[in-house]
Chains A and B, each alone.
Chain A
């Protein structure tokens, strides 16, 4: 058997000539020289192109350093097609990217045009070790076991197995920190507590009254005196005012106050904050997956992946004329969770 390099046109090597092989080795295709192989001027031109690319890369790298040192980070410039952009970032990106690209293109151009392109065959060697090497390795392994004193010291062996078997318990017990289970936290909101039923503006926290609303008004709101931002994640609501005649059922109208309705701002599908309210259709869209709820009809799902209607919050006014919640939501707000039981 011969190993090693066989130059092109290698018909009839001893490895390929298997007795009775129906697929004879066709050998390598005929080598066709490139233009740069036979035309010295073309080769010189290719050399100049490669050198030009490497030279351009050098210039761009120097440009990167110059830009980094000289351009103020607040400077802006106008570039056609890009608009007004930060000069420093633009210069750094163009020079560094261009520099790396030129090295890459130059190297590829060099390999394609000027490096030797003669096809060669490099045969694969057998993978198996020689019988002597195998015997040596086995001998070494046996010697190692004997040297470790394990065959005589059984106690070490048994205790090691015990230690190794028990060790995975450590990361397993750490999984306990994934909890504790939410228990009832997911079922209620801050509105359930009587001291948190005043409806306040989501931004400036002033109390809202019915006269603040015009027909078609929408505004985000929250309960008074939030205990933590986590509470807002579930208690956030939107208030809308629609023509009472357009509310589909008396039951829904009674949950609102003179056309003002309160809905959870948290999508029952994946918990995104809702806000795309179309005043003409009374449809509320979720920006994440386009679930659409009809707010004139108990937040009924009219489109999208949400499995449940948008929960309403029953509201009224207190003695001072400000809007307040009558109580908490009738159902858990937000996305489905494992223990919810109904979906």
Chain B
């Protein structure tokens, strides 16, 4: 102690104290400051939200409101979550092209990244169901169980093999044959437009996977042969028989009865 205090007037003493203080502050800082990687992730996600906000303001807010609170032109979407946004924007249904019975699936206006950014922004407002992971919508569930659930709850609108069907006033249940499994999952989870919601309580994530397995398996089945006529059964088949087939029979009858030249 004596030796230390004896040297307190040494010309370099100030420098040593300064170095010690700097080291202490630096150590304290590195001990308490958030880790660098976490900071980077935070930055990335807040950047994504920022980007999403920009896209939202320019492309969505005129109908859904600046804070997603809804206007007279469009419903409130705060709280619907990322899955709903990813479905609507990812299938091209939004932004809406025109006011019809319902929004048709069309060419997407935004890239996958932009879609996810908008979804992240809307989710940042009031939470909601997140975009499902590839594991969640993989078509490797129970085919039989999926078929039963589909026929009980989905087939009355979407047809027994997912070919879709008409509803009222220009609305329709879309054809699921070519649908992305992710969008099928999101549609079940969020119930877009006329479609009811199949919450995780009534259809567990496992059962949703089974349904996707059924839809994808059926869609991959080859036709047994001949013209499938849309595979929707007696409506198109009857139409074809009454027009094309009976037309051909009448033509044959006329040919049979015509006087040969």
Tell me the A residues contacting B by CB distance below 8 Å.
Answer: 34-36, 76, 81-86, 88-90, 92-93, 108, 112-113, 117, 201-204, 208-209, 211-220, 239-240, 273-281, 283, 285, 287, 292, 303
Binary per-residue interface labels of chain B (188-206) against chain A in the complex, 1 for a CB within 8 Å, 0 otherwise: 0001011111110111000
On whether the beta carbons of A218 and B196 are closer than 8 Å, the reply is: yes
B153 interface hit (Cβ, 8 Å):
yes
Interface string of B219-261 (1 = CB under 8 A from A): 0001111111000000000000000000000000001100011
For the residues of B in contact with A, the DSSP-based class is loop
Contact residues in A for B227 (Cβ distance below 8 Å): 81-82
- The reply to whether A217 and B199 contact each other, CB–CB distance below 8 Å, is yes
* Distance of A35 Cα from B259 Cα, bound (Å): 12
Mark the stretch among B20-28, B44-52, B108-116, B144-152 that contacts chain A: B144-152
27 A-B contact pairs sorted by A residue (CB < 8 Å) = A34-B260, A36-B260, A83-B228, A85-B223, A85-B225, A93-B226, A117-B260, A201-B202, A202-B152, A202-B153, A203-B148, A211-B201, A214-B191, A216-B191, A217-B191, A217-B196, A217-B198, A217-B201, A218-B196, A219-B203, A240-B196, A275-B156, A276-B165, A276-B167, A283-B168, A285-B167, A303-B168
Which residues of chain B are within 8 angstroms of A281 by Cβ–Cβ distance? 168, 194
B171 touches A (CB below 8 Å): yes
Decide yes or no: A219 and B222 within 8 Å by CB, A82-B228, A275-B153, A283-B168 being known contacts: no
Q: Which chain B residue lies CB-closest to A97?
A: B226
Complex contact A208–B202 (CB within 8 A): yes
Shortest Cβ gap from A16 to chain B (Å) = 24
Q: Which residues of B contact A108 (CB under 8 A)?
A: 255-256
CA distance A89 to B228 in the complex (A): 13
Chain B contact residues (Cβ within 8 angstroms of A): what range?
Answer: 35 or more
In the complex, A126 Cα to B256 Cα: how many Å?
31
- Tell yes or no: B63 within 8 A of A by CB: no
Contact of B207 with A by CB under 8 A: yes
**Cβ contact within 8 Å between A215 and B156:** no
Q: How far is the CA of A212 from the CA of B198 in the complex (A)?
A: 9
A129→B71 CA distance, assembly (Å): 95
In this complex, which of B157, B193, B198, B201 has the most chain A Cβ atoms within 10 angstroms of its Cβ?
Answer: B201
**In the complex, which residues of chain B have a beta carbon less than 8 angstroms from the beta carbon of A202?**
152-153
Q: Which 8 pairs between the two chains have the least Cβ-Cβ distance?
A: A212-B201, A89-B225, A275-B156, A218-B196, A214-B199, A219-B202, A216-B197, A278-B194
CB pair A84–B196 under 8 Å, yes or no, is no
Complex interface: chain A residues within 8 A of B152 (CB): 202-203, 220, 275
Docked CA distance A285–B157 (Å): 9
User: In the assembly, what is the distance between CA of A203 and CA of B207, in Å?
Assistant: 10
- Is B155's CB within 8 Å of the partner chain A? yes
Known contacts: A213-B202, A279-B196. The answer to whether A35 contacts B153 by CB under 8 A is no
Q: Which of B155, B156, B173 gathers the greatest number of chain A CB atoms within 10 Å?
A: B156
> Residue among A84, A88, A90, A278 with the most chain B CB within 10 A?
A278
